Amino acid sequence: MNSFLLFSHILLLLPLLTLGSPLSTNGRWIVDESGRRVKLACVNWASHLDAMVTEGLNKQPVDAITAKVASLGFNCVRLTYATYMTAHQDYLYLTVRQSLLKNGLKEAVDGILLHNPNIIDLPLIEAFKAVIQSLEKNNIMVIMDNHVSKPQWCCSGTDGNGFFGDEYFDPAQWEMGLSNMARFFSLSPNVIAMSLRNELRGPRQNVQDWYKYMKSGAEAIHGANPKLLVILSGLSFDNDLSFLQQKQVDLSFQRKLVYEVHWYSFTNSGIWSNGDLNEVCSQRTYKMMRKAGFLLDQGFPLFLGEFGIDQRGVNMEDNRYLPCVLSLAADLDLDWALWSLQGSYYTREGTHDMEETYSVLSFDWSQFRNVTMLRIISSIQTPLTGPGLDQVPAYKMLYHPLTGRCVLRGNTGKDVVTGRCLKSEAWIYDNGNLALHGTNSSCLQTDGEGKLAILGTDCSGIASKWDMISATKMQFSSKVQGPSRRPLCLDIGPNGRSLVTNACKCFTGNQLCDPETQWFKLVKSTRILTDEKSTIDGLMP
Protein backbone atom coordinates (compact mmCIF):
# COMPACT_ATOMS: atom_id res chain seq x y z
CA MET A 1 0.00 0.00 0.00
CA ASN A 2 1.13 3.48 -0.75
CA SER A 3 2.61 4.75 2.48
CA PHE A 4 1.46 8.25 1.64
CA LEU A 5 -2.10 7.07 1.81
CA LEU A 6 -1.67 6.56 5.52
CA PHE A 7 -1.70 10.30 5.83
CA SER A 8 -4.62 10.84 3.61
CA HIS A 9 -7.27 10.55 6.27
CA ILE A 10 -5.67 12.94 8.65
CA LEU A 11 -7.48 16.21 8.57
CA LEU A 12 -4.72 18.70 8.21
CA LEU A 13 -5.62 21.98 9.75
CA LEU A 14 -3.40 24.62 8.29
CA PRO A 15 -2.17 26.67 11.20
CA LEU A 16 -3.84 30.02 11.37
CA LEU A 17 -1.44 32.85 11.03
CA THR A 18 -0.63 34.61 14.20
CA LEU A 19 -1.02 38.12 12.96
CA GLY A 20 1.43 40.41 14.59
CA SER A 21 4.34 38.06 14.54
CA PRO A 22 6.74 39.57 12.04
CA LEU A 23 7.89 37.72 8.98
CA SER A 24 11.44 37.40 7.77
CA THR A 25 13.26 35.53 5.05
CA ASN A 26 15.25 32.34 5.13
CA GLY A 27 16.97 31.98 1.81
CA ARG A 28 14.29 32.11 -0.86
CA TRP A 29 11.47 31.48 1.63
CA ILE A 30 9.36 33.86 3.69
CA VAL A 31 9.06 32.46 7.22
CA ASP A 32 7.29 33.27 10.47
CA GLU A 33 8.92 33.62 13.87
CA SER A 34 9.00 29.87 14.39
CA GLY A 35 10.91 29.51 11.13
CA ARG A 36 8.00 27.94 9.28
CA ARG A 37 7.26 28.97 5.75
CA VAL A 38 4.45 31.45 5.08
CA LYS A 39 3.37 31.49 1.46
CA LEU A 40 1.87 34.76 0.28
CA ALA A 41 -1.22 33.99 -1.80
CA CYS A 42 -2.58 37.49 -2.32
CA VAL A 43 -5.02 39.43 -4.36
CA ASN A 44 -4.47 43.04 -5.44
CA TRP A 45 -6.93 45.64 -4.19
CA ALA A 46 -6.60 49.13 -5.63
CA SER A 47 -6.67 52.24 -3.48
CA HIS A 48 -4.40 54.51 -5.51
CA LEU A 49 -6.71 55.93 -8.18
CA ASP A 50 -7.84 59.56 -8.46
CA ALA A 51 -9.85 59.72 -5.24
CA MET A 52 -7.44 57.54 -3.20
CA VAL A 53 -10.33 55.64 -1.64
CA THR A 54 -10.14 51.86 -1.59
CA GLU A 55 -12.29 50.65 -4.47
CA GLY A 56 -15.67 49.06 -3.95
CA LEU A 57 -16.76 50.74 -0.74
CA ASN A 58 -19.63 52.25 -2.74
CA LYS A 59 -20.85 48.77 -3.68
CA GLN A 60 -20.60 46.54 -0.58
CA PRO A 61 -19.84 46.85 3.13
CA VAL A 62 -16.11 46.58 3.69
CA ASP A 63 -16.53 43.60 6.03
CA ALA A 64 -18.49 41.74 3.37
CA ILE A 65 -15.68 42.31 0.88
CA THR A 66 -12.90 41.24 3.22
CA ALA A 67 -14.86 38.16 4.30
CA LYS A 68 -15.08 37.19 0.63
CA VAL A 69 -11.32 37.56 0.25
CA ALA A 70 -10.80 35.17 3.14
CA SER A 71 -13.43 32.70 1.93
CA LEU A 72 -11.57 32.38 -1.34
CA GLY A 73 -8.41 31.19 0.37
CA PHE A 74 -6.34 34.31 -0.16
CA ASN A 75 -4.24 34.98 2.92
CA CYS A 76 -3.10 38.41 1.91
CA VAL A 77 -3.95 41.58 0.01
CA ARG A 78 -1.56 43.79 -1.92
CA LEU A 79 -3.23 47.09 -1.09
CA THR A 80 -2.09 49.91 -3.34
CA TYR A 81 -1.84 53.57 -2.37
CA ALA A 82 -0.58 56.85 -3.77
CA THR A 83 2.18 58.88 -2.12
CA TYR A 84 -0.02 62.01 -2.14
CA MET A 85 -2.33 60.41 0.43
CA THR A 86 0.42 60.52 3.01
CA ALA A 87 2.97 63.13 1.94
CA HIS A 88 1.34 65.94 -0.06
CA GLN A 89 -0.13 68.87 1.86
CA ASP A 90 -2.99 69.46 -0.57
CA TYR A 91 -4.28 65.92 -0.09
CA LEU A 92 -3.28 64.99 3.47
CA TYR A 93 -6.37 66.31 5.19
CA LEU A 94 -8.98 65.44 2.58
CA THR A 95 -11.86 63.32 3.79
CA VAL A 96 -13.32 60.54 1.68
CA ARG A 97 -16.31 62.71 0.84
CA GLN A 98 -14.18 65.71 -0.11
CA SER A 99 -11.84 63.66 -2.25
CA LEU A 100 -14.66 61.97 -4.15
CA LEU A 101 -16.52 65.26 -4.71
CA LYS A 102 -13.30 66.91 -5.87
CA ASN A 103 -13.24 64.25 -8.58
CA GLY A 104 -16.90 64.75 -9.47
CA LEU A 105 -17.94 61.42 -7.94
CA LYS A 106 -21.20 62.29 -6.27
CA GLU A 107 -22.70 58.89 -7.07
CA ALA A 108 -19.77 57.20 -5.32
CA VAL A 109 -20.45 59.31 -2.23
CA ASP A 110 -24.05 58.10 -2.27
CA GLY A 111 -22.89 54.50 -2.60
CA ILE A 112 -20.53 54.86 0.35
CA LEU A 113 -23.23 56.52 2.44
CA LEU A 114 -25.35 53.48 1.77
CA HIS A 115 -22.79 50.72 2.34
CA ASN A 116 -20.04 52.23 4.49
CA PRO A 117 -21.41 55.37 6.13
CA ASN A 118 -18.79 55.26 8.90
CA ILE A 119 -15.94 56.14 6.61
CA ILE A 120 -17.44 58.95 4.55
CA ASP A 121 -16.08 61.80 6.68
CA LEU A 122 -12.82 60.15 7.68
CA PRO A 123 -9.52 61.48 6.39
CA LEU A 124 -8.30 59.31 3.51
CA ILE A 125 -5.64 57.60 5.56
CA GLU A 126 -8.13 56.70 8.28
CA ALA A 127 -10.40 55.14 5.68
CA PHE A 128 -7.42 53.19 4.38
CA LYS A 129 -6.83 52.06 7.94
CA ALA A 130 -10.45 50.95 8.30
CA VAL A 131 -9.92 48.63 5.32
CA ILE A 132 -6.76 47.23 6.89
CA GLN A 133 -8.61 46.64 10.17
CA SER A 134 -11.40 44.84 8.36
CA LEU A 135 -8.80 42.61 6.70
CA GLU A 136 -7.27 41.99 10.11
CA LYS A 137 -10.62 40.71 11.41
CA ASN A 138 -10.44 38.10 8.68
CA ASN A 139 -6.84 37.19 9.38
CA ILE A 140 -5.66 38.64 6.08
CA MET A 141 -2.13 39.98 5.80
CA VAL A 142 -1.49 43.27 4.00
CA ILE A 143 1.30 44.42 1.74
CA MET A 144 1.11 48.19 1.37
CA ASP A 145 2.16 48.92 -2.17
CA ASN A 146 3.30 52.38 -3.20
CA HIS A 147 1.71 52.35 -6.62
CA VAL A 148 2.03 55.95 -7.83
CA SER A 149 2.82 59.39 -6.41
CA LYS A 150 0.02 61.42 -7.97
CA PRO A 151 -3.16 59.40 -7.68
CA GLN A 152 -4.26 58.03 -11.04
CA TRP A 153 -4.54 54.83 -13.05
CA CYS A 154 -1.17 53.23 -13.55
CA CYS A 155 0.91 52.92 -15.74
CA SER A 156 2.30 54.48 -18.83
CA GLY A 157 5.87 55.46 -19.61
CA THR A 158 4.93 59.13 -19.80
CA ASP A 159 2.45 59.62 -16.94
CA GLY A 160 4.86 61.59 -14.76
CA ASN A 161 4.79 58.83 -12.14
CA GLY A 162 7.26 56.44 -13.73
CA PHE A 163 10.69 57.12 -12.31
CA PHE A 164 12.53 59.22 -9.75
CA GLY A 165 12.59 62.82 -10.96
CA ASP A 166 9.51 62.55 -13.19
CA GLU A 167 6.99 65.39 -13.00
CA TYR A 168 5.05 63.98 -10.03
CA PHE A 169 7.70 61.64 -8.67
CA ASP A 170 9.76 63.60 -6.18
CA PRO A 171 12.23 61.23 -4.47
CA ALA A 172 12.25 63.11 -1.15
CA GLN A 173 8.46 63.17 -0.97
CA TRP A 174 8.36 59.48 -1.89
CA GLU A 175 10.81 58.58 0.87
CA MET A 176 8.84 60.62 3.39
CA GLY A 177 5.67 58.84 2.22
CA LEU A 178 7.26 55.45 2.81
CA SER A 179 8.35 56.24 6.33
CA ASN A 180 5.03 57.93 7.13
CA MET A 181 3.15 54.83 6.06
CA ALA A 182 5.52 52.47 7.87
CA ARG A 183 5.16 54.49 11.07
CA PHE A 184 1.43 55.13 10.82
CA PHE A 185 0.67 51.42 10.44
CA SER A 186 3.35 50.09 12.78
CA LEU A 187 0.67 48.98 15.24
CA SER A 188 -1.43 47.24 12.61
CA PRO A 189 -0.51 43.61 13.20
CA ASN A 190 -1.54 42.38 9.75
CA VAL A 191 0.61 44.84 7.79
CA ILE A 192 3.57 42.56 7.12
CA ALA A 193 5.31 44.18 4.18
CA MET A 194 5.69 47.31 2.09
CA SER A 195 6.67 47.40 -1.53
CA LEU A 196 8.72 50.43 -2.46
CA ARG A 197 7.29 51.35 -5.84
CA ASN A 198 5.18 49.71 -8.45
CA GLU A 199 6.47 49.28 -12.02
CA LEU A 200 9.35 51.74 -12.39
CA ARG A 201 9.55 52.79 -16.01
CA GLY A 202 9.94 55.50 -18.59
CA PRO A 203 12.71 57.50 -20.20
CA ARG A 204 14.41 58.40 -16.91
CA GLN A 205 14.82 54.87 -15.61
CA ASN A 206 18.39 53.73 -15.00
CA VAL A 207 20.15 51.15 -12.90
CA GLN A 208 22.32 53.58 -10.96
CA ASP A 209 19.36 55.51 -9.55
CA TRP A 210 17.58 52.25 -8.91
CA TYR A 211 20.30 51.15 -6.48
CA LYS A 212 20.48 54.57 -4.88
CA TYR A 213 16.76 54.98 -4.23
CA MET A 214 15.96 51.36 -3.42
CA LYS A 215 18.54 51.58 -0.67
CA SER A 216 17.23 54.85 0.74
CA GLY A 217 13.60 53.74 0.48
CA ALA A 218 14.26 50.37 2.09
CA GLU A 219 16.19 52.02 4.93
CA ALA A 220 13.40 54.56 5.42
CA ILE A 221 10.84 51.79 5.87
CA HIS A 222 13.09 49.70 8.07
CA GLY A 223 13.96 52.70 10.22
CA ALA A 224 10.28 53.43 10.80
CA ASN A 225 9.17 49.84 11.33
CA PRO A 226 11.90 47.16 11.43
CA LYS A 227 9.34 44.35 11.50
CA LEU A 228 8.27 44.81 7.89
CA LEU A 229 9.44 42.91 4.87
CA VAL A 230 10.60 45.32 2.18
CA ILE A 231 9.76 44.43 -1.39
CA LEU A 232 11.76 45.80 -4.31
CA SER A 233 10.47 45.90 -7.87
CA GLY A 234 12.47 45.97 -11.07
CA LEU A 235 12.73 48.28 -14.04
CA SER A 236 10.66 48.33 -17.24
CA PHE A 237 7.26 47.87 -15.58
CA ASP A 238 8.74 45.42 -13.09
CA ASN A 239 9.84 42.99 -15.72
CA ASP A 240 13.57 43.32 -15.24
CA LEU A 241 15.75 42.64 -12.22
CA SER A 242 18.57 41.14 -14.27
CA PHE A 243 21.07 43.76 -13.12
CA LEU A 244 21.04 42.06 -9.70
CA GLN A 245 23.07 39.27 -11.24
CA GLN A 246 26.03 41.64 -11.03
CA LYS A 247 25.47 43.58 -7.85
CA GLN A 248 23.37 43.29 -4.67
CA VAL A 249 21.54 46.08 -2.88
CA ASP A 250 23.62 47.10 0.09
CA LEU A 251 21.35 47.32 3.14
CA SER A 252 22.05 47.78 6.85
CA PHE A 253 19.63 44.97 7.79
CA GLN A 254 19.17 41.36 6.87
CA ARG A 255 16.49 38.77 6.24
CA LYS A 256 13.77 41.24 5.26
CA LEU A 257 14.35 41.67 1.54
CA VAL A 258 11.94 40.29 -1.07
CA TYR A 259 11.95 40.95 -4.83
CA GLU A 260 8.89 41.45 -6.97
CA VAL A 261 8.18 40.76 -10.64
CA HIS A 262 5.07 41.20 -12.81
CA TRP A 263 3.93 39.08 -15.72
CA TYR A 264 0.94 39.64 -18.01
CA SER A 265 0.15 38.41 -21.50
CA PHE A 266 0.32 42.03 -22.67
CA THR A 267 3.86 42.28 -21.32
CA ASN A 268 4.66 40.81 -24.74
CA SER A 269 1.57 41.65 -26.67
CA GLY A 270 0.78 39.52 -29.68
CA ILE A 271 3.09 36.61 -29.07
CA TRP A 272 0.67 34.36 -27.23
CA SER A 273 -1.90 34.03 -29.97
CA ASN A 274 0.53 34.13 -32.80
CA GLY A 275 3.06 31.37 -32.38
CA ASP A 276 3.63 27.77 -31.37
CA LEU A 277 2.53 27.85 -27.76
CA ASN A 278 5.18 25.38 -26.67
CA GLU A 279 7.85 27.68 -28.08
CA VAL A 280 6.27 30.85 -26.72
CA CYS A 281 5.82 29.47 -23.22
CA SER A 282 9.30 28.01 -23.00
CA GLN A 283 10.87 31.24 -24.26
CA ARG A 284 8.86 33.46 -21.92
CA THR A 285 9.67 31.17 -19.01
CA TYR A 286 13.35 31.29 -19.88
CA LYS A 287 13.22 35.09 -20.04
CA MET A 288 11.39 35.27 -16.75
CA MET A 289 14.10 33.15 -15.13
CA ARG A 290 16.88 35.27 -16.59
CA LYS A 291 15.25 38.57 -15.63
CA ALA A 292 13.99 37.63 -12.17
CA GLY A 293 13.72 33.91 -11.39
CA PHE A 294 17.48 33.62 -10.83
CA LEU A 295 17.00 35.56 -7.58
CA LEU A 296 15.59 32.43 -5.97
CA ASP A 297 18.95 30.75 -6.53
CA GLN A 298 20.65 33.79 -5.07
CA GLY A 299 18.63 33.18 -1.92
CA PHE A 300 15.87 35.80 -2.14
CA PRO A 301 12.11 35.28 -2.17
CA LEU A 302 10.52 36.33 -5.47
CA PHE A 303 6.98 37.67 -5.29
CA LEU A 304 4.91 37.53 -8.49
CA GLY A 305 3.15 40.72 -7.42
CA GLU A 306 0.88 41.04 -10.48
CA PHE A 307 -0.43 38.55 -12.97
CA GLY A 308 -3.93 37.82 -14.19
CA ILE A 309 -6.34 37.56 -17.07
CA ASP A 310 -9.63 38.89 -18.32
CA GLN A 311 -11.84 36.57 -16.33
CA ARG A 312 -14.65 36.63 -18.86
CA GLY A 313 -12.55 34.20 -20.89
CA VAL A 314 -12.77 36.41 -23.99
CA ASN A 315 -9.11 37.30 -24.42
CA MET A 316 -7.32 34.59 -26.39
CA GLU A 317 -3.85 35.87 -25.48
CA ASP A 318 -4.74 35.78 -21.79
CA ASN A 319 -6.30 32.33 -22.01
CA ARG A 320 -3.23 30.89 -23.69
CA TYR A 321 -0.82 32.63 -21.31
CA LEU A 322 -2.40 31.58 -18.02
CA PRO A 323 -1.43 27.87 -17.97
CA CYS A 324 2.14 28.86 -18.78
CA VAL A 325 2.32 31.25 -15.82
CA LEU A 326 0.64 28.74 -13.53
CA SER A 327 3.06 25.99 -14.46
CA LEU A 328 5.97 28.22 -13.43
CA ALA A 329 4.26 29.53 -10.29
CA ALA A 330 3.53 25.95 -9.20
CA ASP A 331 6.94 24.65 -10.18
CA LEU A 332 8.76 27.35 -8.18
CA ASP A 333 6.09 27.43 -5.47
CA LEU A 334 6.16 31.22 -5.75
CA ASP A 335 4.60 33.81 -3.53
CA TRP A 336 2.14 35.80 -5.64
CA ALA A 337 -0.68 38.34 -5.92
CA LEU A 338 -3.42 38.04 -8.50
CA TRP A 339 -4.64 41.13 -10.32
CA SER A 340 -7.27 41.82 -9.03
CA LEU A 341 -10.09 41.93 -6.51
CA GLN A 342 -11.97 45.03 -7.67
CA GLY A 343 -14.90 44.57 -10.03
CA SER A 344 -15.11 48.31 -10.63
CA TYR A 345 -13.44 51.67 -10.08
CA TYR A 346 -15.01 54.90 -8.80
CA THR A 347 -13.32 56.42 -11.82
CA ARG A 348 -10.53 55.28 -14.09
CA GLU A 349 -8.98 57.25 -16.93
CA GLY A 350 -11.99 59.55 -16.98
CA THR A 351 -14.70 56.89 -16.97
CA HIS A 352 -16.93 56.86 -13.92
CA ASP A 353 -17.91 53.54 -12.35
CA MET A 354 -15.69 51.70 -14.78
CA GLU A 355 -15.76 47.92 -14.84
CA GLU A 356 -12.61 45.87 -14.23
CA THR A 357 -12.73 42.54 -16.04
CA TYR A 358 -9.42 41.21 -14.67
CA SER A 359 -11.20 40.76 -11.39
CA VAL A 360 -12.33 38.18 -8.90
CA LEU A 361 -15.48 40.11 -8.02
CA SER A 362 -18.30 41.12 -10.31
CA PHE A 363 -19.14 44.70 -11.27
CA ASP A 364 -21.45 45.09 -8.26
CA TRP A 365 -18.93 43.33 -5.94
CA SER A 366 -21.55 40.86 -4.74
CA GLN A 367 -20.69 37.86 -6.93
CA PHE A 368 -17.61 36.05 -8.12
CA ARG A 369 -16.90 36.84 -11.73
CA ASN A 370 -15.69 33.37 -12.64
CA VAL A 371 -15.71 30.46 -10.22
CA THR A 372 -13.78 28.24 -12.61
CA MET A 373 -10.97 30.72 -12.56
CA LEU A 374 -11.05 30.81 -8.75
CA ARG A 375 -10.72 27.07 -8.57
CA ILE A 376 -7.79 27.17 -10.96
CA ILE A 377 -6.09 29.85 -8.87
CA SER A 378 -6.72 27.89 -5.69
CA SER A 379 -4.36 25.21 -7.02
CA ILE A 380 -1.39 27.44 -6.24
CA GLN A 381 -2.58 28.84 -2.90
CA THR A 382 -1.27 26.19 -0.56
CA PRO A 383 2.50 25.95 -0.08
CA LEU A 384 4.08 22.78 -1.40
CA THR A 385 7.39 22.82 0.38
CA GLY A 386 9.78 25.01 2.36
CA PRO A 387 11.03 25.30 5.93
CA GLY A 388 8.75 23.50 8.36
CA LEU A 389 6.77 21.94 5.55
CA ASP A 390 9.05 19.01 4.87
CA GLN A 391 6.52 16.63 6.33
CA VAL A 392 7.16 13.70 4.01
CA PRO A 393 9.95 12.79 1.61
CA ALA A 394 9.79 14.76 -1.62
CA TYR A 395 7.44 13.47 -4.26
CA LYS A 396 5.96 14.92 -7.45
CA MET A 397 2.49 16.12 -8.18
CA LEU A 398 1.42 15.76 -11.76
CA TYR A 399 -0.09 19.21 -12.25
CA HIS A 400 -2.39 20.12 -15.12
CA PRO A 401 -2.12 23.91 -15.32
CA LEU A 402 -4.99 24.41 -17.78
CA THR A 403 -7.50 23.15 -15.22
CA GLY A 404 -5.52 23.68 -12.01
CA ARG A 405 -6.01 20.02 -11.18
CA CYS A 406 -3.63 17.19 -10.36
CA VAL A 407 -3.56 13.58 -11.44
CA LEU A 408 -5.05 11.13 -8.95
CA ARG A 409 -6.07 7.51 -8.88
CA GLY A 410 -9.65 7.01 -10.00
CA ASN A 411 -12.31 4.93 -8.31
CA THR A 412 -11.42 1.63 -9.93
CA GLY A 413 -7.81 1.89 -8.80
CA LYS A 414 -6.80 1.25 -12.37
CA ASP A 415 -7.91 4.48 -13.96
CA VAL A 416 -6.54 7.93 -13.34
CA VAL A 417 -8.41 11.20 -13.20
CA THR A 418 -7.70 14.82 -12.42
CA GLY A 419 -8.82 16.25 -9.11
CA ARG A 420 -7.86 18.61 -6.34
CA CYS A 421 -4.12 19.05 -5.92
CA LEU A 422 -4.45 18.87 -2.14
CA LYS A 423 -5.32 15.22 -2.72
CA SER A 424 -2.57 14.69 -5.23
CA GLU A 425 -1.09 11.29 -5.64
CA ALA A 426 2.64 11.06 -4.99
CA TRP A 427 4.30 10.39 -8.32
CA ILE A 428 7.86 9.52 -9.16
CA TYR A 429 9.27 9.98 -12.64
CA ASP A 430 12.12 7.58 -13.01
CA ASN A 431 13.61 5.63 -15.86
CA GLY A 432 10.78 6.74 -18.15
CA ASN A 433 8.14 5.45 -15.76
CA LEU A 434 5.45 7.58 -14.19
CA ALA A 435 4.98 5.50 -11.07
CA LEU A 436 3.05 5.88 -7.87
CA HIS A 437 5.41 6.48 -5.00
CA GLY A 438 5.99 3.61 -2.64
CA THR A 439 4.58 1.01 -4.96
CA ASN A 440 6.62 -1.31 -6.99
CA SER A 441 4.27 -1.85 -9.71
CA SER A 442 1.84 0.92 -10.46
CA CYS A 443 2.99 2.61 -13.60
CA LEU A 444 0.97 4.80 -15.89
CA GLN A 445 0.43 3.15 -19.27
CA THR A 446 -1.12 3.97 -22.59
CA ASP A 447 -3.81 1.65 -23.82
CA GLY A 448 -3.91 3.11 -27.33
CA GLU A 449 -5.14 6.22 -29.08
CA GLY A 450 -8.24 7.77 -27.57
CA LYS A 451 -8.25 5.22 -24.76
CA LEU A 452 -8.05 5.78 -21.01
CA ALA A 453 -4.56 5.84 -19.55
CA ILE A 454 -4.32 3.08 -16.97
CA LEU A 455 -2.22 2.01 -14.03
CA GLY A 456 -0.56 -1.26 -14.83
CA THR A 457 1.91 -3.63 -13.27
CA ASP A 458 4.29 -4.01 -16.18
CA CYS A 459 6.64 -1.07 -15.75
CA SER A 460 9.20 -2.26 -18.26
CA GLY A 461 7.10 -2.47 -21.42
CA ILE A 462 7.05 0.40 -23.90
CA ALA A 463 3.45 1.20 -23.02
CA SER A 464 4.81 2.36 -19.63
CA LYS A 465 7.60 4.58 -20.93
CA TRP A 466 7.14 8.33 -21.21
CA ASP A 467 9.34 11.07 -22.61
CA MET A 468 8.86 14.70 -21.70
CA ILE A 469 8.74 16.37 -25.07
CA SER A 470 8.29 19.69 -26.87
CA ALA A 471 10.00 22.93 -25.93
CA THR A 472 8.08 23.15 -22.66
CA LYS A 473 8.77 19.52 -21.72
CA MET A 474 5.20 19.52 -20.49
CA GLN A 475 3.89 16.94 -22.95
CA PHE A 476 4.29 13.33 -21.86
CA SER A 477 4.77 11.22 -24.92
CA SER A 478 4.57 7.47 -25.06
CA LYS A 479 6.81 5.52 -27.39
CA VAL A 480 3.70 3.81 -28.64
CA GLN A 481 2.34 5.31 -31.85
CA GLY A 482 -1.30 5.60 -32.71
CA PRO A 483 -2.95 4.93 -36.06
CA SER A 484 -2.15 8.51 -37.02
CA ARG A 485 1.55 7.58 -36.81
CA ARG A 486 2.08 10.28 -34.29
CA PRO A 487 3.25 9.48 -30.79
CA LEU A 488 0.57 9.39 -28.12
CA CYS A 489 0.51 12.02 -25.42
CA LEU A 490 -1.25 12.19 -22.09
CA ASP A 491 -4.38 14.28 -22.45
CA ILE A 492 -7.65 15.07 -20.73
CA GLY A 493 -10.54 12.90 -21.87
CA PRO A 494 -13.86 14.13 -23.30
CA ASN A 495 -15.49 14.20 -19.86
CA GLY A 496 -12.91 16.74 -18.70
CA ARG A 497 -11.72 14.55 -15.83
CA SER A 498 -10.29 11.25 -17.02
CA LEU A 499 -6.82 10.84 -18.48
CA VAL A 500 -6.45 9.47 -21.97
CA THR A 501 -3.73 9.27 -24.58
CA ASN A 502 -4.25 11.14 -27.84
CA ALA A 503 -2.00 11.95 -30.76
CA CYS A 504 0.53 14.50 -29.53
CA LYS A 505 -0.57 18.03 -30.40
CA CYS A 506 1.56 20.63 -32.17
CA PHE A 507 3.59 18.22 -34.23
CA THR A 508 2.48 19.55 -37.54
CA GLY A 509 4.00 23.01 -37.40
CA ASN A 510 0.62 24.65 -37.02
CA GLN A 511 1.38 28.13 -35.70
CA LEU A 512 -1.87 28.45 -33.82
CA CYS A 513 -2.07 24.96 -32.39
CA ASP A 514 -2.82 24.80 -28.71
CA PRO A 515 -1.24 21.91 -26.78
CA GLU A 516 -2.43 23.03 -23.35
CA THR A 517 -4.82 20.16 -22.68
CA GLN A 518 -1.67 18.02 -22.91
CA TRP A 519 0.44 20.08 -20.57
CA PHE A 520 1.39 18.35 -17.35
CA LYS A 521 4.05 19.62 -14.99
CA LEU A 522 5.86 17.49 -12.46
CA VAL A 523 5.94 19.68 -9.38
CA LYS A 524 7.91 18.92 -6.25
CA SER A 525 6.02 18.70 -2.98
CA THR A 526 6.82 17.64 0.57
CA ARG A 527 3.33 18.33 1.83
CA ILE A 528 1.26 15.75 3.62
CA LEU A 529 -1.53 14.53 1.42
CA THR A 530 -4.88 15.32 2.82
CA ASP A 531 -8.61 15.05 2.47
CA GLU A 532 -8.99 18.58 3.67
CA LYS A 533 -11.72 20.41 1.83
CA SER A 534 -10.78 23.73 0.36
CA THR A 535 -13.29 26.52 0.66
CA ILE A 536 -13.45 26.64 -3.11
CA ASP A 537 -15.15 23.25 -3.19
CA GLY A 538 -18.24 24.69 -1.63
CA LEU A 539 -18.50 27.16 -4.49
CA MET A 540 -18.37 24.58 -7.21
CA PRO A 541 -21.55 23.89 -9.12
Ligand X SMILES: *[C@@H]1O[C@H](CO)[C@@H](O)[C@H](O)[C@H]1NC(C)=O
Q: Which residues bind ligand X (CB under 6 A)?
A: 311-313, 319, 370, 372-373, 440
The smaller minimum CB distance to ligand X, of residues 273 and 311, is found at 311
Chain center to CA of 302: 11
Number of other residues whose CB lies within 10 A of the CB of residue 160:
15
- Answer whether 273's CB lies under 8 Å from 320's CB: yes
Cβ-based burial of 352 (10 A; exposed 0-12, middle 13-18, buried ≥19) = middle
Measured CA to CA, the distance from residue 265 to residue 246 in angstroms comes to: 28
CB of 422 to ligand X, least distance (A): 20
Measured from the CB atom, the residue of 194 and 373 that comes closer to ligand X is: 373
DSSP symbols for 156-212: -TTSS-SSTTSTT--HHHHHHHHHHHHHHTTT-TTEEEEES-S---STT--HHHHHH
CB-wise, 185 or 368, nearer to ligand X? Answer: 368
Between 198 and 370, name the residue whose CB sits nearer to ligand X. Answer: 370
Between CA 429 and CA 443 the distance in angstroms is 10
Query: How far is the C-alpha of 327 from the C-alpha of 318, rounded, in Å?
Result: 15
Contact between 346 and 103 under an 8 Å Cβ cutoff? The reply is yes
CB of 237 to ligand X, least distance (A): 23
Cβ 464 to ligand X, closest distance in Å? 15
Count of other CB atoms within 10 angstroms of residue 156: 13
Taking the least distance from each CB to ligand X, the nearer of 165 and 313 is: 313
What distance lies between CA 524 and its chain's CA centroid?
18
Shortest distance, CB of residue 485 to ligand X, whole angstroms?
32
Q: Report in angstroms how near the CB of residue 163 gets to ligand X at its nearest.
A: 34
Alpha carbon distance 49, 55 (integer Å): 9
Range list of H helices, 72-168: 84-87, 96-102, 106-115, 124-137
With b meaning 16 or more CB within 10 Å and e meaning fewer, what string describes 408-443?
A: bbbeeeebbbbbbbbbbbbbbeeebbbbbbbbeebb
CB 313, min distance to ligand X, A: 2
State the nearest-atom distance from the C-beta of 510 to ligand X, in Å: 21
**Nearest residue (CB) to ligand X, 190 versus 311:** 311
Nearer of residues 83 and 370 to ligand X, judged by Cβ = 370
Q: Minimum CB separation from ligand X for residue 322, in Å?
A: 6
Q: From the CB of 41, what's the least distance to ligand X, in Å?
A: 18
* Contact predicate 86/55, CB 8 Å: no
Burial class (CB in 10 A: 0-12, 13-18, 19+), 297: exposed
Residue number with CB closer to ligand X (15 or 313): 313
Query: CB of 397 within 8 A of CB of 522?
Result: yes
Q: How far is the CB of 357 from ligand X (least distance, A)?
A: 9
Report how far residue 230's alpha carbon sits from residue 251's, in angstroms, rounded to the nearest whole number.
Answer: 11
* Cα dist from 29 to 80, 108, 230, 331, 371, whole Å: 23, 41, 14, 14, 30
Q: How far is the CB of 437 from ligand X (least distance, A)?
A: 11
Q: What is the DSSP letter of 113?
A: H
Burial of 27 (0-12, 13-18, 19+ CB in 10 A): middle
**Which residue's CB is nearer to ligand X, number 319 or number 475?**
319
Q: What are phi and psi of 302, to 5 degrees?
A: -120, 120
DSSP state string for 339-353: S-S-SEEEEETTEEE
Comparison of 102 and 312: residue with beta carbon closer to ligand X:
312
Closest separation between CB of residue 311 and ligand X, Å? 6
Nearer to ligand X, 342 or 370 (CB): 370
| Minimum CB distance to ligand X, residue 408 (Å) | 21
Q: Between residues 440 and 508, which has the closer beta carbon with respect to ligand X?
A: 440
Give the shortest CB-6-to-ligand X separation in angstroms.
Answer: 15
Nearer to ligand X, 30 or 373 (CB): 373
- Residue with the shortest CB distance to ligand X: 313
C-beta of 150 vs 521, nearer to ligand X = 521
Strand partners, 112: none
The CB-based long-range contact list for 246-252 (8 Å cut-off, 24+ gap) reads 247/211, 249/211, 249/214, 249/215, 249/218, 250/211, 250/215, 251/215, 251/218, 251/219, 251/222, 252/219, 252/222
What single-letter DSSP state applies at residue 123?
B
Q: Which among 168, 227, 229 has a CA at the least distance from the CA of 202?
A: 168
